[in-house]
Amino acid sequence: MAELSRGVRLGVDVGQVRVGVSRSDPHGILATPLVTLARDLTAEPDTVPSDMTELAHLVTEHEAVEVVVGLPVNLAGKLGPAAQHVTAYVTRLADVIAPVPVTLSDERMSTVVASRRLAERGVRGKRQRAVVDQAAAVEILQSWLDAQRRRTE
pLDDT for position 39 = 95
**List of domains in the chain:** 9-152 (3.30.420.140)
Split the chain (153 residues) into runs of 10 and give each run's mean pLDDT: 80 94 96 96 91 98 97 81 92 97 84 72 70 88 92 78
Residues 6+ apart with CB under 8 A from 148: 4, 28
Give the Å distances, CA to CA, from 3 to 91, 101, 109, 123, 153.
27, 17, 27, 37, 9
Mapped onto helix, strand or coil, the DSSP state of residue 103 is strand
pLDDT for position 1 = 42
pLDDT for position 84 = 92
Residues 114 and 135 sit within 8 Å (Cβ to Cβ): yes
